[in-house]
Amino acid sequence: MTFKEKKNSLLSRFSNDIGIDLGTANTLVYVRGKGIVVNEPSVVAVNQKTGQVVAIGQTAKDMLGRTPAHITAVRPLVDGVISDFEVTEEMLAYLMRRAGEYMPKKFLGPRVVVGVPSGVTNVEVRAVRDATKNAGAREVYIVEQPMAGAIGIRLPIHEPVGSMIIDIGGGTTDIAVISLGGIVRSKNLKIAGDKLNNDIISYIRNEFKILIGETTAEQVKKDVGAVLPGEPLETTIRGRDLITGLPREVIITDSDIREAIGQSIDVLLEATKEVLETTPPEILADVMKRGIHLVGGGALIKGLDALLLETLNIPITIAEDPLTAIARGAGIILEDLDKFRSVLIENEDDLPSNS
């Protein structure tokens, strides 16, 4: 054991370990020994007059589209990347304090593993690292979300076999092929939960001349969203009539939603094909045998697994509790940091200096 490893081992006795899935739609916090203790929407309400944070998480999400002029409910992450540094810092500090309620008091700040989308730039990684440290972390380790998801659902990432995972989150979709502790092929798309919500808003505006908000669009997607025809589904939605300006309600069916999100789903299927087409043949053989694993909230879209199977002719598995897979993966990494060190995005502080 090196001096640095001994020092880390000693310091870990005096600090807690936290895993964070920093998502565009939801942020989940895992505490070592306790499991997932916080699962809150990544939304912060800010008073524009004072600059003060009014609410964070579910309380702030409930305010979306319902706030007075001086209060804005913002999402500090866009497409999986920090767009508002200070608000992200406030949100992380709040969530870490919430997690602290489930942990024994320790002298030092916690060690934190944070999941980020694959293919993020060095600048984006540094922003996540700095925001987490400023929120009170002693050490910050960054892992790509598809890798964390694969670890969370116990795929054999260190073995010489190919595993394929599709993580459909709120802001981004990550498609990755993993073997021997590394990502062999991957593609990151901006087609995910938020894009599908916007597709639904646009479709209802164009077809029904009704304006609805994000929250309504998300609920419609959950209630009647299905990418393959099946049992007819319908729901009633209320919004503002664009012609009269008055409230109006209409019935929306699963076929409406299918038409609304069809183009985005096609892009997702094409991107999956592209990743498969560039995957080395031996690994592709493993994927065909072992199948593709779906994680993230988008894995729950009705019929998506059947559509992928029909299109790709490869077995599709929806992970057990797909929404928490990445946070669980961050937790498993914390259990044995040395074993999983090779899957982490390298910390600039650990690199040898040129001086």
Per-residue pLDDT tens over the stretch 272-320 = 999 999 999 999 999 999 999 999 988 999 999 999 999 999 999 999 9
Tell me the pLDDT band of 352, cut-offs 50, 70 and 90: very low
Contacts of 301 (CB under 8 A, 6+ apart): 168, 196, 221, 225, 226, 227
Q: Are residues 237 and 273 in the same domain?
A: yes
Q: Is the pLDDT of residue 96 over 50?
A: yes
> 265: alpha, beta or left, given left = phi > 0 and alpha = psi -120 to 50?
alpha
Query: Averaged over 238-245, what is the pLDDT?
Result: 92
In this predicted structure, what is the pLDDT of residue 99?
85
Confidence of residue 259 (pLDDT cuts 50, 70, 90): very high
For 161-187, give the DSSP string: S-EEEEEE-SS-EEEEEEETTEEEEEE
User: Global pTM?
Assistant: 0.87
Per cent of the chain over pLDDT 90 is 47
Tell me, what CATH number does 10's domain have?
Answer: 3.30.420.40
Mean pLDDT in residue range 250-266:
93
Q: Which of 326, 333, 335, 316 is nearest to 117 (CA)?
A: 326
106 within a domain of the structure (yes/no): yes
Range of the domain at 19: 3-148+325-350
Q: Do both 174 and 286 map to the same domain?
A: yes
For the chain, how many structural domains are there in total? 2
Q: Is 37 helix (H, G, I), strand (E, B) or coil?
A: strand
222 with 284, same domain: the answer is: yes
